[in-house]
A and B are shown apart, each in its own frame.
Chain A
Amino acid sequence: MNDYRQLWTELGVNLELHDQLLKSLDQAHHRTHLAQQNRPDTMKIFDEAFHASHAGRVAEILDYRKKGGKSIGTFCIYIPDEIALAAEVIPIPLCGGSGWSVHYADKMFPRDICPLVRSTFGMAFSGTCPYKTIKDFAVGETTCDAKKKAWDLLGFKVMEVPQRKKPIDRQLWLKEVYEFKEMVETLSGVKVSAETLRDKIKLVNAKRRNLQKIDDFRKLANPPISGLDALLVAQVALNQDIRKFIANTADLINELEQRARKNISSYSENGPRILIAGSPSPMGNAKIHAMVEQAGLQIVADESCTGSRYFRELVDETASDLDGMIQAIADRYFNIDCSCFSPNSERLDNIEKIIKDYRIQGVVQNILQYCHTYNIEAKAVENRLKKINIPSLQIETDYSEEDIGQIRTRVEAFAEILRKT
């Protein structure tokens, strides 16, 4: 890490505070991912990528920019990567998962907004986000109120994500996608052509297919990868160079195939099969995943934005002209079942499908404090689960450690119920 001090200084990072942030991220990584037994060897690549997110990855992007390349900051899985990449712009998702930086957001934002937004801007305000100065602009979106008003305050560009799924909403979204295309084209001076866009659709789909394949292994009775590690892979997917990520996940898939053939499980003993539902867990946050698996439960599926919501659907690759491709992209992103939509019954159907496909025995709803849309929708999820006799546990928490005693008791009691002991 010392090799990067020069780089951080160049980027105006506050070295002292940044050291504190890295230490806190590293400690959390040790307590959660590295505390596991029976991990696939390939996970080491993803541990390195986790650390590289503030080091090697930053250097790559800086290098790209020094050669005239462009990059943008994003905060949501609604921003269409294909289009940015086709305009030779690197999109970097910047959502924060570190509890360390949360309170630094207080100088601009009220405290009763979610820890994800606070962590993200806490890093920017404390001078510990190395990406702050190496992006040309940031693109937000109109999902939740906290984010929407944060973009406003900080003067970010915004894509309007509709809140309903009627034809008129689809039209609006398609227009927004076209506008995004113009935005990135103007930035880089590179026109998006049918040829380049077709390439990038295939590229981003290849990344999604690899993530889907990894998820398929979790359907096995002996999952060769833990829920914690699958989360890390998804978190890395949002940061790492896409071609590197596709190569790394291909290596992981090879190892998982071998482990599956030999019936090697990531878990030392059998345990109830769990679906994690609700708010996202950006890189740095694995609090609930870790506690759930430490209680002997097996997370075999995760429907959040840092789970299958990110890669469940592909962009249709059959369109032949540019407009057809942009429509296919718009449709793919429009279908995302984010809780900002009203109604959002697809999400309940998707959850029910996951429960069948992955033979889920219990659901843990992981809700970030003040994440109103997922928090309120949790009731609808609970009602649907009751109908199909699947027990569920709802946890509302932030990134801090102060409530882990209470949460551990609840998670362990939930495990006792599922084991019917």
Chain B
Amino acid sequence: MKTSSIGIDLGSRTTKIVVLRDGSLAKYEIFDTGCAPLSHVKTFLRDYPGSPIMTTGYGRHMLAEELSAKKVTEIKACAKGAFFLFPQCRTVLDVGGQDCKVLSLDDSGRVLNFEMNDRCAAGTGKFLEVMADTFKMNLNSFVNTAMETSSHISINSMCTVFAESEVISLITRGKPLNEIARGVHISVAKRLTVMLSKYLTKEQMLFVGGGALNECLNNLLQDEIGREIICPENPQIVTALGASLLA
């Protein structure tokens, strides 16, 4: 057990814990952050007394204080995890519950530059969740609906609240749901493409975070930027993995 190190990424929607042993992923857990993430984390940590811990994500300051652990920004942790998995990648897109960010890395995996959305939810997981909710669907069904068709109705509003009104008005006008759902995905893909445009190089680009699980978004993004995007097997835990490497 002495050789384990732990990375905890307390995000706005989900918390990710990664256990690294002898330089490779030994265990991970993903749970809804909810309102009592600390007790969940503490329960998990009972099995790993004395292991070094690195915290990251929205809740890093609270966790670091409560656990007497170290903390690092999710920007650096994400870069570390991405570079560990794909040493060829130089651009990383991370779409999380409440934020989206783009990182550019140098040849040694260090962050050269980054961009992050501000308080606005456009281009984040939350945007898609709100839209799915407008359809009274869970996120998976919403994604599947959007993939049923290849045509779409454009959504013009980037603002979550305005986009919701726009979608409701399209629904009440009897427009096909799958085309609206696809339009919502396209608007997110376009928004992310704008963020990405400054950072794309000829090198590999990695897509991580909960948003990378969205197959429709992934396909549309590849169409928008006209190139292949690599998505790791467990895109949600890349930042926690990076934290465990930094512990």
Contacts and interface: CB of A to CB of B under 8 A. Distances in A.
Nearest to A405: B58
A412 interface: yes
B110 interface: yes
Interface in A365-421: 391, 396-397, 402-403, 405-406, 409-410, 412-413, 416-417, 420-421
A402 B116 contact: no
Given A413-B73, A416-B72, A406 B111 contact: no
A413 B118 contact: no
A279 to B, nearest CB: 15
Given A413-B114, A416-B111, A402 B119 contact: yes
Contacts of B112: 417
B81 to A, nearest CB: 15
Nearest to A411: B73
Given A405-B58, A406-B99, A416 B116 contact: no
A416 B73 contact: yes
Interface residues of A, number: 15
Contact of B75 (A402, A405, A416, A420): A416
B119 A409 contact: no
A413 B242 CA distance: 14
Contacts of A406: 99, 116-119
Contacts of B119: 402-403, 406
B174 to A, nearest CB: 34
B70 to A, nearest CB: 12
B111 A413 contact: yes
Interface residues of B, number: 16
Greatest chain B CB density within 10 A among A402, A403, A417 is at A417
A416 B118 contact: no
Contact of B118 (A403, A420, A421): A403
A420 B112 CA distance: 9
A397 B110 contact: no
B74 interface: yes
Given A417-B111, A420-B110, A409 B73 contact: yes
Interface string A224-245: 0000000000000000000000
A409 B118 contact: no
Contacts of B90: none
Contacts of A402: 119
A403 B58 CA distance: 12
A348 B116 CA distance: 25
B101 to A, nearest CB: 9
Nearest to A408: B61
Nearest to A413: B75
Interface in B58-94: 58, 72-76
Greatest chain A CB density within 10 A among B73, B74, B110, B116 is at B73
Interface string B97-111: 001000000000011
A397 B118 contact: yes
A412 B73 CA distance: 7
B114 to A, nearest CB: 6
B8 to A, nearest CB: 16
Interface string B102-141: 0000000011111011110000000000000000000000
Contacts of B110: 417, 420
Nearest to A416: B76
A397 B76 CA distance: 23
Contacts of A391: 113
A413 B58 CA distance: 13
Nearest to B110: A420
A410 B116 contact: yes
A416 B246 CA distance: 13
Nearest to A407: B118
A409 B78 CA distance: 13
A397 B74 CA distance: 21
Interface of A: 391, 396-397, 402-403, 405-406, 409-410, 412-413, 416-417, 420-421
Interface of B: 58, 72-76, 99, 110-114, 116-119
10 contacts: A402-B119, A406-B118, A409-B74, A409-B116, A413-B73, A413-B111, A416-B75, A416-B111, A417-B112, A417-B113
Nearest 4 Cβ contacts at the A-B interface? A413-B75, A403-B119, A413-B73, A412-B73
Given A409-B58, A410-B75, A417-B113, 14 more contacts: A397-B118, A403-B118, A406-B118, A406-B119, A409-B73, A410-B116, A412-B73, A413-B111, A416-B73, A416-B111, A417-B110, A417-B111, A417-B112, A417-B114
